Structures are given as structure tokens and as C-alpha cells.
Amino acid sequence: MAETSVPVRTCVGCRERAPVTDLLRVVLRAGALVPDPRRRLPGRGASLHPTPECLRAAERRRAFPRALRLPGGSSAPVEAGPLRAHVLGATAPGEAPPGRANAHERQTAVPPTDRQPAGPHVESRTSSDESAVKSPR
């Protein structure tokens, strides 16, 4: 079976190309930049790494009006409040932003150990059960 390729976009902040699964889509709604993590909102979108560094770089470079092709070019005013809250408010130092994990995080993800059993028919083992299961060598 043939593999499907993942589309690649350019981040408007750092200008690096990345798979769409690593980038956050941003659209303009009522004059405000709105994050579109599900990539479903209508209209032209811009792609951005969901990091504070890329957001600051995109704002400093006035990249959103150009990427979204707003009339008036880079002088068109846009409100970045909802986008800023999504990117900056959701990330704490050392914490990954919500949404899809990037390729490295998907490969190195460790399943949680505090999960509950799937249902009443599943029994968990205790240390005494493990000694009964182990075979002598």
C-alpha cells in the first residue's frame, strides 16, 4: 500500500518548512487572529509553530497581514489576543503546547502508568501474582 505524504507549510514566524501536523493554523475572524488547531475554519490561513518565539517573530515582522493577504498589506491592523492566549497562555516553562504532538514527541511518548483497567473483567496483577507467573531458570 502506498504511503500518503504529509503536506508541508512554512511557519510565518521562523520561516522554516514543517509538516502541517507540527504547525498551528491561524485564521482571521472579525479582525482577530484565531487559532484553528483542527484546521477546519473557512478562509485563508497562515501556519505558525505554536511557540512563543515564533509568535513574537511573526508579530515583529508583521507577517500575519501579508500571509493572510489582507487589504492594506502589513499596515492592516489585526488583533492577536486569542492567538496569543492560545500560544502563550497554554505553555508553561518546560511544558509542551496542547494539540497534536510533533513527530519526536509521538515517537518518544511514554504511556501513562496510572491508567485504570479497561473494564471490570480486567484484573490488575500484584507483586505476589508476579512471583507465581515467573518460571524458574
pLDDT digits 0-9 by tens, 7-31: 999 999 999 999 999 999 999 999 9
pLDDT the model gives residue 132: 54
pTM for the whole structure: 0.62
Q: Where do the H-state alpha helices sit in 7-133? A: 52-60, 63-67, 81-90, 103-108, 127-133
Please enumerate in sequence order all residues whose Cβ is within 8 A of that of 100, keeping only pairs 6 or more positions apart, or say none: 21, 22, 37
Pairwise CA distance, residues 18 & 25, whole Å: 12
Nearest in space to 83 (alpha carbons), one of 53, 50, 61: 50
Pairwise CA distance, residues 7 & 18, whole Å: 9
Q: What are phi and psi of 51, to 5 degrees?
A: -120, 150
pLDDT digits 0-9 by tens, 43-55: 999 999 999 999 9
103 vs 53 pLDDT, higher one? 53
pLDDT digits 0-9 by tens, 36-86: 999 999 999 999 999 999 999 999 999 999 999 999 877 878 999 999 999
pLDDT the model gives residue 26: 98
